[in-house]
Every structure is written in structure tokens, then in C-alpha cells.
Amino acid sequence: MSGRTRARACPERTCVGCRQRAAKTELLRVVAIEGECAPDPRGTLPGRGAYVHPAQVCLDLAVRRRAFTRALRAPGALDTKALRLYVEQTTVAEQVTVAEQATP
């Protein structure tokens, strides 16, 4: 197995919460808009982006470390309410899907 095993077509990013590298597609892009952290699931918003797993744990870690403020070069603390809500909804939606699949 020499360096040719897998094409490195999928770009990796570091989660600002748990600091683990993951495929860009597994992470949620976050941008700062008017002092708020805004989720950018499509990756289309302009400006600097930070990447985090769409999970409460990673979000909490990132908030505690002020990782968003640093990663997005924000002048002050960023509001993460919208982001938190987005992650909550995404997580709930996933759980619902799993529950539906489990039902015979």
C-alpha cells in the first residue's frame, strides 16, 4: 500500500469543539453575522467560516473555549443562540428518523 490507496478528494476541517479532524461534509460551517454565530449548512455564506460537528457536545466545548470568536476573528463575544437552536433541531430530526426506522 503506497500513497495511492485513496484519492484525497474530500477536504478535511478541524472541529472547533472537539478539535478532531473530519470530512468537511460531516461538519457544520458557521459564520459570524452581526455578532451572531449563524449556521451555514450549504457553505455558501461569505466571510470566514468555522467548522463544528452539528452536536451539542462540540457546540458546548466551542462556546466554553470561545473558539468561534477566535476562529471567526470576531471583535467580541458572539451570540450562539441561533446556532444552538439549529443544532438542537438537527439532532431532534435525526433522532426522529432513527425512531421511525426502528418502528416495525
Residues pairing with 13 in the sheet: 22
Question: Cell 490507496 belongs to which residue?
Answer: 5
Q: Applying CB under 5 A, does 15 fall inside the site for Zn ion?
A: yes
Of 24 and 35, which has the nearer Cβ to Zn ion?
24
Site residue total, Zn ion (CB under 5 A)? 5
Q: Where are the alpha helices (DSSP H) in 1-104?
A: 56-64, 67-71, 81-102
**What residues contact 73, with CB distance under 8 A and at least 6 apart?**
48
Here's the x/- map for Zn ion, 52-71, by CB under 5 A: it reads as -x----x-------------
Which residue lies nearer to Zn ion by CB, 58 or 87? 58
Residue 35 vs 70, nearer CB to Zn ion: 70
Q: Does 87 bind Zn ion (CB under 5 A)?
A: no
Q: Does 29 bind Zn ion (CB under 5 A)?
A: no
Residues in the chain: 104
**Three-class DSSP category at 58:** helix
End-to-end CA distance of the chain: 44
Name the segment binding Zn ion (CB under 5 A); options: 36-44, 50-58, 65-73, 74-82: 50-58
